[in-house]
Structure 1
Amino acid sequence: MTSTEPIRIGVLGTHSTGKTTLLRRIEMELRSHGITVARTGRLGKRAAAAGLPKMQHHTALSTEWIITQGIVDEIDAVTQGAEVVLIDRAAHDAIAYWHAALAFRAETPPRLERERLLALASTQLPKYDLLFATELDPRVPVDTSHNYDAGYRWLVDQHAHRLLANDNISHQRVTSDPDSQAHAVDVAVQLCLKEAAL
């Protein structure tokens, strides 16, 4: 690839809906074509390791940490020469998790905090060449070792897709159907190969 700016592909959606698996599949396909790929991720676990709340306990502070750390990770990937950066948990993902946590706790988001964090997440949108949003399929079993709250998981899904719709953010939905996932991988790979040929 000859472009100085890498291609950025982001994914968002509630937990255990295949975000990381989708990006792994895209990464493997791109690497098989000789394209240098970097993948960001594990932001929730890293936030918890830093002493920040997660899942239904999310706060404005933990949300800001996840967004800004995601930005730092992406910049690191670019400076290391990645031709494609795969972003596991695009910026609006953190907003959806926070809104869902507030709804779960029956709290109202403070207006100024909400506007500030939404503005911060929105600064990242122009950088994404492609954005995927996974959909929750309650029929698909989750790993029981995670002890997820099903209600909170559903709220994250609802808030993620509501944010995308309300702000008219261009994205492609990815369901649990294997054909949908294969199509998403193909769309991402074809975009990158097209850019590589320029």
Structure 2
Amino acid sequence: MTIYLGIAGTHSTGKTTFVQNVLQLAREHQLSAAVVSDTATRCRDAGFPILKDHTFESTLWIMTSVVKAELEAGLRAELVIVDRPVPDALGYLEAALAATGRHVTSEERAYLYGLAAHHVKRYGLLLKTTLDETIPLGPDRDPDLGFRRAADRHIEAALSEISTSWFDPNADTTQQRIRSLLTELGSSARG
């Protein structure tokens, strides 16, 4: 059995630190774990526009690449931590469209949101960070604070639109939920 844990949020909001902490907890529970991350960089390297230049195509590329990476990671891990789960890309697309005054067609929008709404059900737990402007930007990150704020708002709006619930990764109740999930997963893995 594989559990998928997704953590969404704009860049430089503590996701990487959170992922490292969950990996440590997984090791303590003797669980195999894998991380899916850095999909936007691969998208850019493939020739697609990202950040303020996101398009329907780049968003779809990211979303389907995340799905593919999740499936591959699930072949070898009991816990798959997804740094930027499928719905995260919707927030970046919406922020890009708002920043540039562009639009996608209603069919394209329905396609992307439908894909996210169906796929999000695979996550055993979905988390979303909150932008904390005091956290320093990571290396090679886009420094546009206005865009980061917009991405943060639009990620949350996208999660609401696809009618899914999410949790604050820093809340004590979420930390307890994660520990319980890992304990349950460890128990079922050892049979």
TM-score, with normalisation over the residues of structure 2?
A: 0.91
Q: Which residue of 2 aligns with 1:142?
A: 137
Alpha carbons 1:10, 1:130 under 8 Å: kept: yes
Listed as ranges, the gaps of 5+ residues in structure 2 are none
Q: What CA distance in whole angstroms lies between the structure 2 residues aligned with 1:182 and 1:22?
A: 13
Residues 141-162 of structure 1: CA deviation (Å, up to 9, x unaligned): 3247534211111110010111
Give 1:166-177 correspondences, 5 Å limit: 166-174=161-169
- Over the aligned positions, Cα root-mean-square deviation in angstroms equals 1.7
Alpha carbons 2:30, 2:186 under 8 Å: kept: no
Task: State the 1:168 CA deviation.
Answer: 2.7
Residue in structure 2 matching 1:118, options 94, 110, 113? 113
**1:48 to 2:44 alignment:** yes
Residues 154-193 of structure 1: CA deviation (Å, up to 9, x unaligned): 110010111222333111024xxxxx26664443232111
Residues 101-153 of structure 1: CA deviation (Å, up to 9, x unaligned): 00010223321111011111222111111000001122333247534211111
Question: What's the % identity of the aligned pairs?
Answer: 31
| Count of aligned pairs between the two proteins | 188
Q: Which residue of 1 aligns with 2:147?
A: 152
4+ runs deviating over 3 angstroms: 181-186
Q: What CA distance in whole angstroms lies between the structure 1 residues aligned with 2:141 and 2:91?
A: 20
**1:13 to 2:13 alignment:** no
Listed as ranges, the gaps of 5+ residues in structure 1 are 175-179
Q: Which residue of 1 aligns with 2:177?
A: 187
**1:84 to 2:74 alignment:** no
